[in-house]
Amino acid sequence: MYKEILETVAVIRSRHAQTPVLGLILGSGLGSYADTFQPRTVIPYSELPHFPRSTAIGHSGNLVLGEGEGVPVVAMQGRVHFYEGYSMAEVIYPVRVLGALGMRQLIVTNAAGGINLSFRPGDLMVITDHVNMMGTNPLIGPNIDELGERFPDMSDAYSRAMREVALRVAEQKGLFLRQGIYMGLTGPSYETPSEIRMMRALGADAVGMSTVPEVIAANHMGIPVFGISCITNMAAGILPQKLTHQEVMDTTERVKEQFMSLLRSIIPALAFLARAEGNG
């Protein structure tokens, strides 16, 4: 597996020489931020050996390398999900490639349903921690010692230092951010109202079908993570209406500008943090 990772890394390096400081996983409908990188190299996943291809609607499936706010970055425009039928190893393969490529920090984004009753569709939530309810773990199998240890620590899975920087910068910019715990399920069916009540009782603020595997993989590699959920809808049973993927897409479209302005302001501050920690 490590050999494959290095093969993918070699192809990326041959197309874009600069090592990215920061990696971004841009979830459903949130990929357009990478279109603003200047200069930019766009590599379709289909041109990368061993890379999984995404099938979900709203995921374009490109690796985009370049500079965002003057910071060398690499973005995944679209990810693959466990519910698409990929193995967990395939789901985390891209994050491992970005780690081997040299990224020092990871920003993960997703669309999520709001469980916390004070949330509203369109809110942006800084992920403070997650609960893995996917029933499996992406690190099951032989450990890749080159990447990290067998039993990685998860006690700062969403870097406190990165969260503090992001919250400070957002406040200065007048951007309102929620904070909360993300519960990750496999999907693809949405939850029942009873499941949502159970998750609220267990302390979850938002629910989604991604992110948890990638964040575990990043922690395995010792890469600090900042996570942000776009609350696209209230979770099942909260409002007297059905859940639809259309609502998820419509809400991400509506908050895209606010989301991009958040990324634009936090990226330089986070990159500065990486350097200050002797990490970049």
CA distances from 208 to 65, 136, 152, 273 (A): 27, 15, 23, 28
Question: Are 228 and 125 contacting, i.e. CB atoms less than 8 angstroms apart?
Answer: yes
111 binds ligand HPA (CB under 6 A): yes
Q: Is 23 in the site for ligand HPA (CB under 6 A)?
A: no
- Give the residue with the Cβ less far from ligand HPA, 119 or 190: 190
Which residue of the set 54, 110, 132, 210 is catalytic?
A: 210
**In the complex with ligand HPA, which residue's Cβ is closer, 30 or 243?**
243
Cross-strand bridge partners of residue 68: 71
> Is 112 a residue that touches ligand HPA (CB under 6 A)?
yes
Residue among 130, 129, 131, 111 nearest 121 (CA) = 111
98 touches 23 (CB < 8 A): yes
Between 5 and 115, CB nearer to ligand HPA: 115
Does position 233 bind ligand HPA by CB under 6 A?
yes
**Spatial separation of the C-alpha atoms in residues 108 and 16, rounded to whole Å:** 22
Binding mask 167-196 for ligand HPA (x = CB under 6 A): -----------------------xx-----
Shortest Cβ 79–ligand HPA spacing (Å):
13
Chain CA centroid to CA 131, Å: 15
The dihedral built from the CA positions of residue 181, 112, 177 and 155, taken in this order, carries a sign that is positive
Looking at the Cβ atoms of 61 and 208, the one nearer to ligand HPA is: 208
Nearer to ligand HPA, 28 or 77 (CB): 28
Contact status: 124 vs ligand HPA (CB under 6 A)? no
Alpha-carbon gap, residue 204 to 182, rounded angstroms: 6
Catalytic site includes residue 83: yes
Site membership for ligand HPA, residue 34 (CB under 6 A): no
Near ligand HPA by CB under 6 A: residue from 5, 248, 266, 270: 248
Per the annotation, the verdict on 130 as an active-site residue is no
User: Rule CB under 6 A: is residue 238 a binding residue for ligand HPA?
Assistant: no
Give the residue, chosen from 66, 78, 113, 180, that forms a contact with ligand HPA under the rule CB under 6 A: 113
Q: Which residue is nearest to ligand HPA (CB)?
A: 113
Active site residue 7: no
- Whether 60 is catalytic is no
CA 252, CA 161: separation in Å to the nearest integer?
Answer: 27
Candidates 34, 209, 234, 271; catalytic one:
209
3-state secondary structure of 178: strand
C-alpha span between 138 and 103 (Å, rounded): 20
- 90-127 as b/e: b if 16+ CB within 10 A: bbbbbbbbbbbbbbbbbbbbbbbbbbbeebebbbbbbb
How many residues contact ligand HPA, by CB under 6 A?
Answer: 13
Active site residues: 28, 59, 81, 83-84, 111, 209-210, 233, 245
The contact set with ligand HPA (CB under 6 A) reads: 111-113, 190-191, 207-209, 232-233, 235, 243, 248
